[in-house]
Amino acid sequence: MSEPIRVLVTGAAGQIAYSLLYSIGNGSVFGKDQPIILVLLDITPMMGVLDGVLMELQDCALPLLKDVIATDKEEVAFKDLDVAILVGSMPRREGMERKDLLKANVKIFKSQGAALDKYAKKSVKVIVVGNPANTNCLTASKSAPSIPKENFSCLTRLDHNRAKAQTVQQRGAAVIKARKLSSAMSAAKAICDHVRDIWFGTPEGEFVSMGVISDGNSYGVPDDLLYSFPVVIKNKTWKFVEGLPINDFSREKMDLTAKELTEEKETAFEFLSSA
């Protein structure tokens, strides 16, 4: 059996993590012969809940799970990581301006990026889930200059999976309305799909969607954005899928997304330089 890998999940006391952790621990993501040391990070007020999650994972008696570490300290959480799945972020509260939300998240992801830079392996794969995922991911990457920016990606797989299942654009809002909570099970499944494809590569002849650094793309998206592209993955390295046909409707939506992400990035970078 191979050496254990260290996998971090942040926001580990939350809903999405609760649906995600069992799949990581039972071999559904990294394979059935890959032992795992699972590191759970959350904020101090959530440590009581996190202890409950820890006990449940221990009760599952998963043979691949060599150790579970629950912590509220970044220097413990980010040490020697092979994979970091950053689920935790500041949720939007009622009456909160988008700018305030962005400012709070820049602070979180600047700190976590710096911790990755200082403590994690340089080969670490970083997957950002917490919204606004694209800009949070870019913030973390900019704060971890010693880790290749290609190692950072953000989750757009949930929308990809919904599109494959031909569900509607407003599905997330519909789930919240029905459950009174945001998508957790489907988000966790999308994270598993995303991380598994990074680890093992995409199936021959198939591509997936993930938010990656836009440098050198052929779709007219400005450089230095974290933007969702079609990619194929081999040997843990992604590559753009070139030449997919783009109709006028898609072009318009893509340009609008690039504009929004550019504006968000500029605001975030103002906060980043003053934080």
The pLDDT, as a whole number, for residue 96 is: 73
Q: Residue 159 above 70 pLDDT?
A: no
User: Is 98 one of the annotated binding-site residues?
Assistant: yes
Helix (H) or strand (E) holding 65: strand 65-71
User: Is 130 one of the annotated binding-site residues?
Assistant: yes
Mean pLDDT over all residues of the chain?
91
Q: What are phi and psi of 131, to 5 degrees?
A: -80, 150
The pLDDT, as a whole number, for residue 171 is: 55
Which amino acid appears at position 23 of this protein? S
User: Is 6 one of the annotated binding-site residues?
Assistant: no
- Cα distance between residue 31 and residue 24, in whole Å: 9
Q: Which residues of 23-47 are buried (b: 16+ CB within 10 A; e: fewer)?
A: bbbebebbeeebbbbbbbbbeeebe
> pLDDT tens for residues 220-247?
999 999 999 999 999 999 999 999 999 9
User: Is 179 one of the annotated binding-site residues?
Assistant: no
Q: Residue 4 above 90 pLDDT?
A: yes
- Cα distance between residue 272 and residue 102, in whole Å: 10
User: Is 162 one of the annotated binding-site residues?
Assistant: yes
User: Is 171 one of the annotated binding-site residues?
Assistant: no
pLDDT band with cut points at 50, 70 and 90 for residue 272: confident
The pLDDT, as a whole number, for residue 274 is: 78
The pLDDT, as a whole number, for residue 157 is: 73
- Cα distance between residue 217 and residue 202, in whole Å: 19
DSSP 8-class letter at 61: T
Q: Residue 73 above 80 pLDDT?
A: yes
> pLDDT tens for residues 161-191?
556 555 555 555 666 566 555 567 888 998 9
Q: How many CA atoms lie within 13 A of 166 on its CB side?
A: 0
Domains by residue range for the chain, with CATH: 5-202 (3.40.50.720)
User: Is 243 one of the annotated binding-site residues?
Assistant: no
The pLDDT, as a whole number, for residue 54 is: 95
Q: Residue 94 above 80 pLDDT?
A: no
User: Is 53 one of the annotated binding-site residues?
Assistant: no
- Provide the 10 A C-beta neighbour count for residue 190: 22
Kindly state the average pLDDT of the residues 35-44: 98
